[in-house]
Structure 1
Amino acid sequence: MSGEISDIHTNLALPRTSATLTLRIIKSFEYRTERNLVLHNVNLETTTVARLKDLARQAVVTQPGWKPYRNVVLDTMKLYTKAHGAKMDNLIINLNHEDWILGDDTKTLADYGFENETEVSFFNGELYEAFKANPQVS
C-alpha cells in the first residue's frame, strides 16, 4: 500500500529473529570519537552478548574505514537507547543507568530486552570509568 503511513513502529517492523542493530563503536570519550556499525538480520533470540562483541570486533578488523579503531581494546557494551526511546544528553554515551551495561556475555540480546533498531555502545571499560570520573570533552 504505497503512500500510506504505517501504524507499525520500526522496533516492531521486523521479527526478533531478523533485527537491525546499531553499534556505537567508541574510540575516545574525551574527543567524542565514535563510528556507527549497523548490523542487519541479527537473531536477538540466539545471539549472545559475546557473539555480538565478536561480530563487531571482526567488522572493525576486516571492513574498510575502521583502521583508526583497530588499536582500541573493545571489551564493554552498554545499551544506548531503544527505538523511539529518549536520546541521552551526552552525545557519546549515557553516563547514567549502570544497569544497562551488558555484563553477562552468555545472555542473549533478547534477555536484555533488545528489539529492532536498538542502539548499543561498544567501548573500552577502563576508558569509560576514567571518563565517568572526569567527564570533560575536548
Structure 2
Amino acid sequence: MATESSSITLTVRLIRSFEHRNIKHVVYKDITPDMTVKKFAEFVKTDIKTKAGLPPPFKTYNYDTFKIQHKAFGAKTSDPAINTENDDQLILREDTTLSESKVESETELSFFKREDYEKYKSNPVIMW
C-alpha cells in the first residue's frame, strides 16, 4: 500500500440498485493516490469478494464505473442514490490516477454499473 504521509482514506459506495437504494459503504485506508482508477477498481472488486458483512449480491455484481459522490466538507446531493450532475467532471476515467482525478483523502466514491446509472438518470425514480 502507501506510506503514511502519501496515503488516503476513501469510502466506496457500492450501488447495486439505484431504484431500490441497495447501497453498501466500504472504507479503504492507506490507498496510494498514484494508483490508476482501473487498478483501484480491480482492487475493490477483489476485496469485496471476501469482505465480511457484505451480502452475496454485492460481492458478485458487475461494477464498472466510479463517480465522485462528494469530498470532505463539500456539499452533498439531494438525490439519495447518486449525484446525477456533472458526469464529465465527476466520473473517473480508467486511465488516470486517483490524484489526477482529483480524488483526495475522505472522498466518497460511488461504484456502480454504468448501464444501470444511465437508465436511472433518464428516469430517477426511487422504489420502495
**Normalising by structure 2, what TM-score?**
0.90
C-alpha RMSD of matched pairs (Å): 1.2
**Partner amino acid for 1:101?**
I
**Partner amino acid for 2:52?**
P
Determine helix, strand or coil for the equivalent of 2:26. Answer: strand
Question: Match of 1:50?
Answer: 38
Selected match of 1:74 from 63, 74, 79: 63
Q: Gaps spanning 5+ residues in structure 2: where?
A: none
% identical aligned pairs: 36
Alpha-carbon separation, structure 1, partners of 2:68 and 2:103: 9
Determine helix, strand or coil for the equivalent of 1:59. Answer: helix
Alpha-carbon separation, structure 1, partners of 2:80 and 2:27: 18
Alpha-carbon separation, structure 2, partners of 1:49 and 1:129: 20
Contact 1:37 1:56 (8 Å CA) reproduced: no
Alpha-carbon separation, structure 1, partners of 2:60 and 2:11: 21
Output one character per residue of 1:67-121: Cα deviation in whole Å (capped at 9) or x when no partner: 121332100111111111001111221011112111x212110001111101110
Determine if the alignment matches structure 1 residue 105 to structure 2 residue 94.
Answer: yes
Bigger radius of gyration:
1
**Partner amino acid for 1:59?**
D
Contact 2:49 2:60 (8 Å CA) reproduced: no
**Partner amino acid for 2:28?**
L
Question: Match of 2:47?
Answer: 59
Determine if the alignment matches structure 1 residue 117 to structure 2 residue 75.
Answer: no
**Partner amino acid for 1:89?**
S
Q: Gaps spanning 5+ residues in structure 1: where?
A: 1-13
- Flag as ranges the 4+ runs of structure 1 deviating above 3 A: none
Count of equivalent residues: 122
Alpha-carbon separation, structure 2, partners of 1:60 and 1:116: 20
Alpha-carbon separation, structure 1, partners of 2:83 and 2:39: 23
Determine if the alignment matches structure 1 residue 135 to structure 2 residue 124.
Answer: yes
Determine if the alignment matches structure 1 residue 91 to structure 2 residue 80.
Answer: yes
